[in-house]
Structure 1
């Protein structure tokens, strides 16, 4: 009688441990999804602000004289050296900002973000069906869990390769940009690095 009662207690303890383990893993997935959603919302907000800024630019729709006046420059004289130096110090160089890649965040998103989060849920279910829900442990469920993990890492590798190839194409496009430009400063045309161009500069454009 005591042996049966102890066996029932062990089975009861095992059964109560299963939901706790499943709940812990589910909470881990929920937290990872929350991190990815917060990261996406910040990127979306920044992208919206940039789109609003460029959508409100009206230089192309107003008269040239009004644009020159608003930028405090002259079509024939261009900017003077003092104004150009002040603008360069205030706005910085005419280069695209280089954001330092946070590789750990990218790797986390590749493996746990997007559709992979659903696949991880399937992995958890397969592991639970392998052990302790199956007695004896079901080898096919373990094989399915391992197979889904392989699919997740293949998907993550493919996403990383896509990002790498896209970044490589963008860098090649940036390399095509001219390094120097002909600018009118103090009424004289001079060749200067494009990184030192400021708002209000009159740039001469020629074929080739």
Structure 2
């Protein structure tokens, strides 16, 4: 191995990896066909970090639980609970709060189950890879792959990192995850010229794609967030989030129900004052009961349950 320190941020002097010969790429990443030695691989792992896409930090459980109260229909229940508490009807207050908390708890449990299902998918995709180190074939976790590693590819393998091919034996790769093309791509080891899109870089294979036939050997040129899949992940992280059409419609429905409840309460309040002699405390309690009865408090929980069950079904 050369004594020059490897730096993953230094671009190749002879162009991009697909524009260079396999020998030039090996020289640039300071590797060789027999692979890295374990000490060098460990040093590079410390410098580049694990070969994994950075995961967005999730919200704490208590905050996700409180988010289930962020609904206009639940606001009606909470307002009713406050009014009954002010009036001293503690049994009614506890019942109303119990309904709100139980619905939020059901939604939270189902949402947590859906997140566990998604996490199990991520764990399933993070498999092992066969590398050549010190001339020996080894099987290591994909997270320990570093630039310069020599990876052996076989049919059915999910490619763990971006690689420049140095051997290809009837190698065909399915790259729909990156290019959207449904047909498999034949791969080779010849250098290419010009600025080419990902789909035309036929001497490269990319993280997340799958070997559909044949086999080959490649040298890793990028790992983790530096891969093409990692670039897409970073772009997606910067996209402004929007509510889905279903949630927008649910918001509109909730606001419409809220407006109808307010109109009914106002109309009944005026009617009772003008045509009925009902004590104010009894009148307010009746209006609160009407509001609570009119609220479909189970609707937010039912929507959460249906969506989370859909996620779990897709995960299975």
TM-score if structure 1 supplies the norm length? Answer: 0.47
Higher helix share: 1
Q: TM-score, normalised by structure 2?
A: 0.34
Identify the structure with the greater strand proportion.
2
